[in-house]
Amino acid sequence: MLGQVLPCGEVEGKSVTLVPPEIDHLGAYMAAFADPDVARYRTRQFAVTPAEQQEWLGQTSRDPNSVFWSILLGEEMIGYTAIIGIDWRVRTAHTGVAIFDREHRAKGIATLAMTRRCRFAFETLGLACLFTESIAANEASWRAARRVGYAEYGRKPFAAFIDGAHHESVLGYLTPELLVGTGDARLV
């Protein structure tokens, strides 16, 4: 599924909004996935073709077990976030986020997008638990997840092969009670 428009807040006087991915966004996705800095911590570290991107958008829009958004900063598409692998019976799913350009990282954009995405998962979709996985070397990713309220439940060895070495990943989970700003949430 493609997510609905969700306002997230503001960063440096510009609105952060989650919007359904559009054909116009595919060029930014392709450029980002071809950038070694962005692809570094992705499972697939190869560039994609325009045809693959269009096929992905079509498949994504029909997938009843995932929800995807492009992240806008003002009018600029700067990243994406998603809820994938939704198990409607157990009410769980996996989540992910990426901010494409370095200039937009470390400003709280990912935290705003993740928080809004998680609220949507719990309040609108009725999910009970969200899981995430971050390559441990990508400290900023796990730091943003902790700010939202994700708690570590383990580590996965040999999760990635980057720069000639194996890296472990951090496994995290989030429930409505842990989500920062609700219940007994804690800011880490």
DSSP state letters, the chain: -BPPPEEEEEETTEEEEEE---GGGHHHHHHHHHSHHHHTTSS--S---HHHHHHHHHHHHH-TT-EEEEEEETTEEEEEEEEEEEETTTTEEEEEEEE-SGGGTTSSHHHHHHHHHHHHHHHTS--SEEEEEEETT-HHHHHHHHHHT-EEEEEEEEEEEETTEEEEEEEEEE-TTTSTTSTT----
| pTM for the predicted model, two decimal places | 0.85
Over residues 102-133, the pLDDT tens digits come to 788 888 899 999 999 999 999 999 999 999 99
The structural domains of the chain, ordered by start, are 6-174 (3.40.630.30)
Over residues 13-53, the pLDDT tens digits come to 999 999 998 878 777 766 666 666 655 555 555 556 778 77
